A = this chain, B = another copy of it.
């Protein structure tokens, strides 16, 4: 196998988050299910935005957050996703590049603006996402740089990318390129509703042996396994992939690789402000740990440290010096 240029190349929807506070009554009035991500069209995006409180804009997107986290932890990260040639697209590119992420997918002038997700944060710090995919949903296979994929130790994909048809094919092509080059493929299940929408597709990816590392949270692994019993879901899913990593919010996280099982507690957080990006940054920490040759437990710890940082403030990108945090807590 040739040398790698990147530790992680992430492919995902390039989305700027528009983050506003709201109360539970607002979610109820708008008919929104707390904690979920729903896809909306331009008209609904305008309608909901008109109802929302004042907001802050921060670059997001699940796989983009993970790429930013890997880079913030000192890893070599790349991102593939599509923005439009507009102000949001400029912010998105800047924020990734400024974090040290290689992001060279060109902006596409196809009449759709850069994607935005209206993230509603309730006082319990849970986030409910309303995503207008815009230019992101038009990411074509032709935007992939095969040499970039071949040069990345791990290709990381978000389940959300399965929603729009065009990027789904780009993702499947990228998986084939990565596997032919002998690279590993990591995949996150993203959201239980996303699993409901694409259960067959996800199961096929797994059963075809295309996923080396599967990321999920507790609800997602149970949804995929079709059982509300966590240990059963964990065991049956772990049997299907070489490495399974499951996050459990305040209950910590577990990694299972064949007969090996590691488990860590959640990192303490002074005040949880906004849980957006917790899973994304956990994945970043875990993958950065793996890239550094750490064992499962240490990789989980780095994931927990990165997740704890990102939920302590608004926005799904790290704000503190993650490398320093890890050095301080883990050595």
- From known contacts A87-B86, A87-B88, A113-B87, infer whether A54 and B49 are also in contact, taking CB-CB under 8 Å: no
* Chain B residues within an 8 Å CB radius of A314: 56
A21: which B residues are within 8 A, CB to CB? 319
One of A5-13, A91-99, A229-237 at the interface = A91-99
The reply on A315 being an interface residue by CB < 8 A is: yes
1/0 contact trace for A307-323 toward B, CB 8 Å? Answer: 00000001101010000
Give the number of chain A interface residues (Cβ < 8 Å): 28
Contact between B317 and A54 (Cβ–Cβ < 8 Å)? yes
Query: What's the least CB distance linking A92 to chain B, in Å?
Result: 10
Q: Given A21-B319, A319-B21, decide whether A52 and B87 contact each other with a Cβ distance below 8 A.
A: no
**C-alpha gap A156/B55 in the complex (Å):** 24
Q: Is the Cβ of A55 less than 8 Å from the Cβ of B94?
A: yes
Q: A86-B87, A87-B86 are in contact. Are A53 and B98 (CB under 8 A)?
A: yes
The yes or no answer to A58 lying at the interface (CB within 8 A) is: yes
Residue from B49, B58, B98 within 8 A of A52 (CB atoms): B98
Copy number of this protein in the oligomer? 2
A99 touches B59 (CB 8 A): no
User: Is A263 located at the chain interface by the 8 A CB criterion?
Assistant: no
How many Å from the CB of A49 to the closest CB on chain B? 6
Contacts of A54 in B (CB 8 A): 59, 68, 94-96, 98-99, 317
Partner of A55 from the list B68, B86, B95 (CB cut-off 8 Å) is B95
Task: Tell me, in angstroms, the Cα distance from A91 to B221 when the chains sit together.
Answer: 37
**A276 → chain B closest CB, angstroms:** 13
The answer to whether A212 has its CB under 8 Å from any CB of chain B is: no
A98 to B95 Cα, complex, angstroms: 26
- By Cβ-Cβ distance, the 8 closest A-B pairs, closest first, are A57-B57, A54-B95, A87-B87, A54-B98, A56-B58, A53-B98, A54-B99, A87-B88
Q: Apart from A54-B94, A56-B314, list 17 A-B contacts with CB within 8 A.
A: A20-B98, A21-B319, A50-B94, A52-B94, A52-B98, A53-B98, A54-B68, A54-B95, A54-B98, A56-B56, A56-B58, A56-B315, A57-B57, A86-B87, A87-B87, A87-B88, A87-B113
